[in-house]
Amino acid sequence: MLWFMPQKECAMRPALLIAVPLFALTSSVAPAQAPAVVEVHLSNFKFTPSQIAFQQGRPYVLRLVNDGGGGHDFTAPAFFAGAAVAAQDRRWIADGEVEVPGHQVREIHLTAPRPGTYKLKCSHSLHKAFGMSGTIYVR
């Protein structure tokens, strides 16, 4: 017995042959996790918050906000050495330090490094001595 497909259905068949595998491919791909924003304020002699928590392997935007008129930096060499920093944001980091001029913001897109405790400070003269230090925890 011969079976004939109406011409309209024949025209749709190639589209289905392409669409079904394409749908299967796109539905099995997990959506990328949106980066969480961690905002740290730098002001005269303190980081707010001074205790910062990250989760290993998760993407983040580290937003550093200088609330003061003078310069501050966010110095965490071991943290930045272990983190995967987005190529366009590496320009802001020199020797583990991000300089943030007065009343400006720096955003660093990164993936958190391996679990551990990382020291944080402002390396400007006497800023750490006056209390501008903190700790970064990665779980």
pLDDT in the model for residue 137: 98
Answer yes or no: is pLDDT of 12 > 60.
Answer: no
* Domain contains 4: no
Q: Residue 117: how many CB atoms within 10 A of its CB? A: 10
Alpha carbons 121 and 119: distance in angstroms, whole number: 7
In a domain, 15, yes or no: no
Q: How many structural domains comprise the chain?
A: 1
Range from 1-10, 21-30, 122-131 carrying the lowest mean pLDDT: 21-30
pTM over 0.85: no
CB of 110 closer than 8 Å to CB of 93: no
* Residue 117 within any structural domain of the chain: yes
* Residues 97-112, mean pLDDT to the nearest whole number: 97
Q: State the residue range of the domain holding 125.
A: 36-138
Work out the average pLDDT over 102-118.
Answer: 97
Averaged over 59-86, what is the pLDDT? 96
Name, in order, each residue with C-beta under 8 angstroms of 76's C-beta and a sequence gap of 6 or more: 96, 118, 119, 120, 121, 136
What's 55's DSSP letter?
-
Domain-located, residue 88: yes
**More confident of the two residues 27 and 78:** 78
The verdict on residue 9 lying in a domain is: no
The whole-chain average pLDDT of the chain stands at: 85
- The CATH number for 44's domain is 2.60.40.420
125 is a domain residue: yes
Task: Report whether pLDDT(129) > 90.
Answer: no
**Does a structural domain hold residue 23?**
no
Read off the pLDDT band of 130 (50, 70, 90). Answer: confident
Band (pLDDT 50/70/90 cuts) for residue 3 is low
Mean pLDDT (whole number) for 68-97: 96
- The reply to whether 14 falls in a domain is no
